[in-house]
Structure 1
Amino acid sequence: MALLHRAELRPSKLDLLAAWLPGRPWFAGTPGAEVTRVATFRFDDPAGEVGIETMLVRVGDGPVLQVPLTYRGAPLAGADRWLVGTTDHSALGPRWVYDACGDPVYAPALAAAVLADAGQAEEYFEVDGRREVRAPNMTLAGTRTGALPALGAVDEVVDGDPTLIRAGDVELALVRRPAPADAPAPARLTGAWAGQADPVLLAYAR
């Protein structure tokens, strides 16, 4: 369950991505073009400390790109390679924004979605002491493979398309340019949103 804040971010998430995306090996689009939001979803951090949000965006008229992000209240040690940028949140103060693939909270959340169909976090606002739920803007479907394997520490992250996250005996593959496609493994995560009737492949595991 994700508590959202009606707040202003300076710079905005899209402004951060406009500067960061063109340097990625999987980038597609026109550098300098406007970054537009297509859809989003969130996962839960069991400790409730880190925001985990996946953004699907376009740069200009390029293809949809999948960018999972984590939001932290302090820098993540040893993760400079994955830092997207910093922003000032009008309710929470300074936030460090990371490519989630390099953040240790992300791999277990992605594995639960792919291998156990854990779904996305419910998003809500607190309004006058009442919970106001925000309807999701996309749907997710994972694969129930039985017992969820225990993930140890992430051993390696290979940034590409797909981006590979290796943790013990599990390899998670995050598709950076989602499209309707068959996964090369039975365990997969797909998603759809308004205007995208055919589910796209978001991730798979082997």
Structure 2
Amino acid sequence: MALLYSADLSPSKQDVITAWLPAADYYPGTAPVLEPLGAYRFDDPDGEVGIEIHLVRDADGAVYQVPLTYRGAPLPTAQLVGQIEHSVLGHRYVYDATTDPVYVTQLLATIDGGGCEAEQFVHIDGAEPRKITNAVRARGTGTGLASGIAVTEARCAAVGTDTVIEAGGATVVVHHRPVDTEPAGPALLGEWDTGRALLAHRR
């Protein structure tokens, strides 16, 4: 379960993504004009790291998957995307999630365990948390047996519009441009209002 807050963010997540994308290996442009399609989340069992994966559409119609993690303290081994002031949680460091071991651990667990995105609940004006509908659905196609891999270090390589991650003896490919193809092995599939595609797969 992901617990969110109705909060003011400065800058906004959309602004952070727009500013950072030109530096991302998988983005070919220089001045993105982005339409948010939605996001899905994974849970951090320790409750310390926010894991949020955004889908955005650029002006040319291309859809990009932008995985981010949010932390309250710096993680020197991860790729910093930006920083945000959160009116409830305070200063947050935003990272490229493919370089964050917590995201990689939960991605592998979801794929291998046949899991799905986290349910999301939001605090509004101090009321009891209210469940919100996920705009993006993601599900793993694995056997139902979680990998059990606890990633402490992730090695990433850019291959076209993909990031190939090696961690804990496993290899997983994140498709930043979600692809319309059937996976050959365990994978993460995504659906949103205007599309469905392969988001990641084990190799």
User: Do they fold alike, i.e. is TM over 0.5?
Assistant: yes
Question: Which residue number corresponds to residue 165 of structure 2?
Answer: 165
CA pair 12-205 structure 1, distance change in 2 beyond 3 A: same
Question: Which residue number corresponds to residue 2 of structure 2?
Answer: 2
Give the 5 Å matches for 1:92-171.
92-127=89-124, 128-151=126-149, 152-160=151-159, 161-171=161-171
Q: Does the CA-based 8 Å contact 2:142-2:187 persist in structure 1?
A: no
| Aligned-partner Cα distance in 2 for 1:59–1:146 | 35
| Aligned-partner Cα distance in 2 for 1:149–1:10 | 37
Structure 1 runs of 4+ with >6 Å offset: none
Question: Which residue number corresponds to residue 20 of structure 2?
Answer: 20
| Aligned-partner Cα distance in 2 for 1:17–1:126 | 24
CA pair 48-181 structure 1, distance change in 2 beyond 3 A: same
Give the root-mean-square deviation of aligned CA atoms.
1.7
Quick one: which amino acid aligns to residue 104 of structure 2? A
Q: Does the CA-based 8 Å contact 2:113-2:147 persist in structure 1?
A: no
What is the percent sequence identity of the aligned residues? Answer: 41
Q: Does the CA-based 8 Å contact 2:99-2:155 persist in structure 1?
A: no
| Aligned-partner Cα distance in 1 for 2:122–2:19 | 29
Deviations 1:36-79 (A, max 9, x none): 21121000000001100000112322410111100001111332
| Aligned-partner Cα distance in 2 for 1:6–1:105 | 24
Q: TM-score scaled by structure 1?
A: 0.90
Q: TM-score scaled by structure 2?
A: 0.91
| Aligned-partner Cα distance in 2 for 1:71–1:191 | 22
Q: Does the CA-based 8 Å contact 2:114-2:144 persist in structure 1?
A: no
TM-superposed CA distance for 1:103, in Å, is 0.7
Give the total of aligned pairs.
200
Q: 1:88 aligns with which of 85, 90, 93?
A: 85
CA pair 170-93 structure 1, distance change in 2 beyond 3 A: same
Question: 1:130 aligns to what SS in structure 2?
Answer: coil
- Structure 2: which 5+ runs fail to align? none
CA pair 129-173 structure 1, distance change in 2 beyond 3 A: same
TM-superposed CA distance for 1:155, in Å, is 4.7
Question: 1:177 aligns to what SS in structure 2?
Answer: strand
2:201 is aligned with 1:204: yes
